[in-house]
Chain A
């Protein structure tokens, strides 16, 4: 944090010294203060949900949806953000490990990133070949900022409650220098944040200097960062929300000495510097070369526990009333059964009352301290509860060079090179021993399986039984190294009635792991690069081609057809079986192949303009990994799916009607589908278990033959979750005399719960051998069709061959309406100064029942005995809700 503060102070000092130059010459409504990026800039790196990323001013659909649907975490076409590419000053800044662009890198610096070129996947552009989600390039060169000062003050009731931003730019002076600086601050404390128990404390700074040597050459250095500390919000089951009487219940916080304390606090700071050389020999040719260096420091704390300590999470299922008896079973949830077993209802009611006390539904920090102190003095001496901080630091060096040449009115082309070297540093440190005295660095799961003093229990055999103090690294410590080189080219031909552009790229990627600890379960394949079964470095060759044909018979009508095919290296984050423990790559690690096509019609009929697009995308051989605390096995678990196949298709439309210069009516919507279309291979790794044990758990025992078979996830038919697949907005805008009014009605539907891959593994689902034949000779199984469709199952033929598999039903959330409005006024003041005021009101109807996403719990409903558990995990998914009524007031002053 201190580094960030220093840089912020430097940026501030510079901004203060620079002098105002040219007055603002036009009065524009600065709605950009409210651009959708506001949602993105608050993004959490490790959030399970993310919002749409790309806007394209040229595309009437993309220009609207990103912001319009951000409240419900809408993702364009259901794509993960890893399929979009974000460039800053021409450097591709997507994280090579995660695949995604981290918006927190530019958090709170809206003015600095306002100059952005967004493109869809098929568009010809100046900076590179983008993924199927399109891309954007933010121009952060000092010279592109209009000279002047801008102060923006905001108040809202969202993640933060106060925001201040100041931006200053000089424009080019007579010596060819231009300077620009911006800084911002966002803040909320426990009392003011929308979600109870959270806070927000974030600075941001941006500083750029550009030297124009002559008409051909210029050099720019931009540096920026946003040191941030913020607390997180949990998802919860509907039961917990009901008991807390709020859809914004947050289980992460509790009282310590009477003060609110959140267990999940993120520290995020990603200082970045980009040096850009622009070479423009003439108006037809341009070479842009940028080198970027980023050192990101991201960490998140979490409450953890060892020994036999009781799970401290307040919404742990055993604390919930429904853990007492199966409330979903009509045979048990009836007066006769509960009359016979009155103790069940007594406990159910007791726990219901228990939850009515706020203290009981939050983390009991004082109790954790008490247990630790007692255990230190009179027990094993170890801290049973502690707060750990999981670090995901990253050092990135990236170099991009793009050459663009417009040959004439008909032909132009571009080509370029992208190089990226990324070192991801992953480790955890002891954040707080919570009053405890000692902590020994052994794996709690392995200690249970093999004993405290076994080799397997050691997290680092090079430093066995290391005593951990606050700030020490423990548990795991490893680097992921990724190198990527990409060469690309594109060409556009423009004729009177049609345009064609083609793009191609080829890339190479290497991935390896460098362990800093010798793990006791994987003694010979965890330290350094040693021992990986598949070699120490995985290498992938990728590439792709795109083509788009646009036919425009008249100025008002055009048809476009685009097709792309690509083969992309798997992400480093998915490449290792269990990166915290070992060097081994997952089996079947291959490139992901993507075939995508779209057909669109853009039109203008009088005062109507619009666009209709259809798209179809197929994914093949994908690799997806989830890492989660597995309640079933009671240990951290990695589950990797390979050979994943998905299909996304749908229709997008945007229609605008502007009867005069005051009124505009917009209708924007999409109806799509995003589904898994096969049953991928599964590979699972349970923390604490050695390789041999894990290998045994990676097989399905055929119920007929008794033989082991390839483990799979029954995912066929499952929908991509946590984004609406149906979204429609009808908006009306009116402006007069620099007053601006807007009302938007939005409808969302077909949001699906993120499905648990664990619950759908073939060795977790029930398997069935045929029990008999019916009169027609058909196989008969001891399960009904209804049960299969509800709970899933795998059917085998009499000879042991696979018959059919059913995936447990995936929950679809209820659709819902939202009504938003905004009002704004711009004032021209003396000496060219302007003042703009804008008030945005979101979710006016205060719909607090709209689920934006969620996930199923990774645990099944039955004991090993076959007996049904009281708590039904399959019916208790965890959800997120869209915020209720909220506002954003912004005052902008340009001078």
Chain B
């Protein structure tokens, strides 16, 4: 009997020693996808979609005002685009930007169009890498404009109670979005429109270009940030001292000829507006300006603004004037080292 018991209990002991309920191999993600495997063939283009649903508020199913309107799509309208903007730095929020060159649509020749795809998830870049070709079936989705920017998504109510075109449910990717092939980091769509040349500068200056056809775009502009020029460069900004309460002074303050001066960051929390973002002004060489809008709390927001002229590449749209949102810290050139707040070695 004793022997039997010994065997039983030793067996139990051995079982316990070897058994572990929570040892797992890494998940096999080789076939993992959050999107559909097939949603049909493209039958329209971004241009056609924008032309139909983003150009005229009076034709929209819901018309809040001329800057915010949208329509529910009830047919299989399928278009393609390449991801040219995502939330890799956290500056773009719940949105990716798709761009195509207009081939295959009804309006052949209306090239180079972008549209915003709103998706309810703050971390889209693992699914939508730059250069990824994406196919979208609009059936069941809404197309219109959010603050004049053409967009695909779903309506929602903002924290101020306003009805706007917002992001679609993430799970709708399973039925409405398909990834085509692998991302191509060298895709031609990733080359921004150059607005640093004389032609580009004139294009920015001309208000007539502020149309739905030219918004959004992936573009590069060049200029100095107004808030760090002249006397403004050394002065504390409203809220700076209050918000940081001196703790951050070692980072933002410097002395010039014994005079205490304040560095500026792109988007300090203390300056944020209701949209949790800060506007800076890029002054181009021809006098035209582009608002650089940066969200707080992301990689770009803590960079110290250089006084000199830089190239800024990002998603440009317009409301009352041109506005740009950077995708990444690398969208500032020459780059700023986020650790040092000064120019990156990569520029050298």
Find out whether the CB atom of A350 lies under 8 angstroms from the CB atom of B9.
no
Find out whether the CB atom of B27 lies under 8 angstroms from the CB atom of A256.
yes
The minimal Cβ–Cβ distance linking A511 to chain B, given in whole angstroms, is 28
A863 to B297, CA, bound (A): 19
Is residue A334 within 8 Å, beta carbon to beta carbon, of the partner chain? no
| Contact A384 to B123, CB < 8 A, known contacts A449-B269, A451-B338 | yes
A332 — nearest CB in chain B belongs to which residue? Answer: B157
Is residue B230 within 8 Å, beta carbon to beta carbon, of the partner chain? no
Q: Enumerate B210-235 residues with CB–CB distance to A below 8 Å.
A: none
A366 to B24, CA, bound (A): 12
Find out whether the CB atom of A366 lies under 8 angstroms from the CB atom of B29.
yes
B154 — nearest CB in chain A belongs to which residue? Answer: A343
Find out whether the CB atom of B32 lies under 8 angstroms from the CB atom of A367.
yes
B18 — nearest CB in chain A belongs to which residue? Answer: A5
Find out whether the CB atom of A261 lies under 8 angstroms from the CB atom of B248.
no
Q: Enumerate A1-21 residues with CB–CB distance to B below 8 Å.
A: 2, 5, 8-9, 12, 16
Find out whether the CB atom of B10 lies under 8 angstroms from the CB atom of A369.
no
Find out whether the CB atom of B13 lies under 8 angstroms from the CB atom of A865.
no
Find out whether the CB atom of A16 lies under 8 angstroms from the CB atom of B27.
no
Is residue B87 within 8 Å, beta carbon to beta carbon, of the partner chain? yes
Is residue B319 within 8 Å, beta carbon to beta carbon, of the partner chain? no
Is residue A452 within 8 Å, beta carbon to beta carbon, of the partner chain? yes
**Chain B 166-193 per-residue mask, 1 if CB under 8 angstroms from chain A, else 0:** 0001111000000000010000000000
Find out whether the CB atom of B299 lies under 8 angstroms from the CB atom of A452.
yes
Find out whether the CB atom of B20 lies under 8 angstroms from the CB atom of A450.
no
**Chain A 693-715 per-residue mask, 1 if CB under 8 angstroms from chain B, else 0:** 10010000000000000000000
Is residue B34 within 8 Å, beta carbon to beta carbon, of the partner chain? yes
A324 — nearest CB in chain B belongs to which residue? Answer: B156
Is residue B25 within 8 Å, beta carbon to beta carbon, of the partner chain? yes
Is residue A690 within 8 Å, beta carbon to beta carbon, of the partner chain? yes
A6 — nearest CB in chain B belongs to which residue? Answer: B17
Find out whether the CB atom of B247 lies under 8 angstroms from the CB atom of A690.
yes
Which of A132-140, A302-310, A565-573, A836-844 lies at the interface? A302-310
Find out whether the CB atom of A5 lies under 8 angstroms from the CB atom of B13.
yes
Is residue A157 within 8 Å, beta carbon to beta carbon, of the partner chain? no
Is residue A183 within 8 Å, beta carbon to beta carbon, of the partner chain? yes
A310 to B142, CA, bound (A): 23
**Chain B 273-294 per-residue mask, 1 if CB under 8 angstroms from chain A, else 0:** 0100000000000000000000
Find out whether the CB atom of A374 lies under 8 angstroms from the CB atom of B126.
yes
A190 to B22, CA, bound (A): 11
Find out whether the CB atom of A185 lies under 8 angstroms from the CB atom of B123.
no
Q: Enumerate B140-177 residues with CB–CB distance to A below 8 Å.
A: 142, 154-157, 159-161, 163, 169-172
Is residue A490 within 8 Å, beta carbon to beta carbon, of the partner chain? no
Chain A hits for B19, CB < 8 A: 201
Chain B hits for A343, CB < 8 A: 72, 142, 154-156
A475 to B200, CA, bound (A): 49
A379 to B24, CA, bound (A): 25
Find out whether the CB atom of B16 lies under 8 angstroms from the CB atom of A203.
yes
Is residue B2 within 8 Å, beta carbon to beta carbon, of the partner chain? yes
Find out whether the CB atom of A203 lies under 8 angstroms from the CB atom of B339.
no
Chain A hits for B142, CB < 8 A: 343
Q: Enumerate A366-423 residues with CB–CB distance to B below 8 Å.
A: 366-371, 373-375, 378-380, 384
Q: Enumerate B293-347 residues with CB–CB distance to A below 8 Å.
A: 297-299, 301-302, 338-339
Find out whether the CB atom of A16 lies under 8 angstroms from the CB atom of B5.
yes
| Contact A870 to B251, CB < 8 A, known contacts A261-B24, A351-B169, A451-B338 | no
Find out whether the CB atom of A369 lies under 8 angstroms from the CB atom of B21.
no
Is residue B254 within 8 Å, beta carbon to beta carbon, of the partner chain? no
A248 to B297, CA, bound (A): 38
Chain A hits for B156, CB < 8 A: 343
| Contact A261 to B22, CB < 8 A, known contacts A12-B9, A350-B171, A690-B247 | yes
A867 to B301, CA, bound (A): 27
Find out whether the CB atom of B29 lies under 8 angstroms from the CB atom of A452.
no
A449 to B272, CA, bound (A): 13
| Contact A310 to B121, CB < 8 A, known contacts A12-B13, A865-B160 | yes
| Contact A379 to B32, CB < 8 A, known contacts A318-B120, A865-B160 | no
A259 to B251, CA, bound (A): 49
Q: Enumerate B73-97 residues with CB–CB distance to A below 8 Å.
A: 87-88, 90
The minimal Cβ–Cβ distance linking B114 to chain A, given in whole angstroms, is 21
Find out whether the CB atom of B21 lies under 8 angstroms from the CB atom of A374.
no
The minimal Cβ–Cβ distance linking A338 to chain B, given in whole angstroms, is 13
| Contact A12 to B299, CB < 8 A, known contacts A229-B21, A308-B122, A450-B248 | no
Find out whether the CB atom of B126 lies under 8 angstroms from the CB atom of A262.
no
The minimal Cβ–Cβ distance linking B297 to chain A, given in whole angstroms, is 4
The minimal Cβ–Cβ distance linking B329 to chain A, given in whole angstroms, is 10
Contact of B302 among A201, A450, A693 (CB under 8 A): A450
The minimal Cβ–Cβ distance linking B118 to chain A, given in whole angstroms, is 13
| Contact A5 to B29, CB < 8 A, known contacts A229-B21, A354-B171 | no
The minimal Cβ–Cβ distance linking A249 to chain B, given in whole angstroms, is 19
Contact of A864 among B10, B12, B159, B163 (CB under 8 A): B159
Is residue B26 within 8 Å, beta carbon to beta carbon, of the partner chain? yes
Q: Which 8 residue pairs across A and B have the least CB separation, nearest first?
A: A451-B302, A374-B126, A369-B27, A863-B159, A692-B245, A448-B297, A370-B29, A366-B27
Known: A256-B27, A371-B126. 18 other contacts (CB 8 A): A12-B10, A201-B19, A262-B22, A265-B21, A308-B123, A343-B156, A365-B27, A370-B29, A370-B32, A378-B126, A378-B183, A434-B26, A434-B27, A435-B26, A454-B251, A867-B160, A867-B161, A869-B159
Residues of B within 8 A of A (CB): 1-2, 5-6, 8-10, 12-13, 16-17, 19-22, 24-29, 32, 34, 72, 87-88, 90, 120-123, 125-127, 129, 142, 154-157, 159-161, 163, 169-172, 183, 245-248, 251, 269, 274, 297-299, 301-302, 338-339
Residues of A within 8 A of B (CB): 2, 5, 8-9, 12, 16, 151, 164, 166, 183, 185, 189-190, 199, 201, 203, 229, 231, 256-257, 259, 261-262, 265, 301, 307-310, 318, 325, 341, 343, 347, 350-351, 354, 360, 365-371, 373-375, 378-380, 384, 434-435, 448-454, 456, 690, 692-693, 696, 863-865, 867, 869-870, 895
Q: What are 8 residue pairs bridging A and B, where the CB atoms are less than 8 Å apart in the complex? A: A5-B17, A12-B6, A256-B24, A370-B29, A370-B126, A374-B125, A454-B248, A696-B245
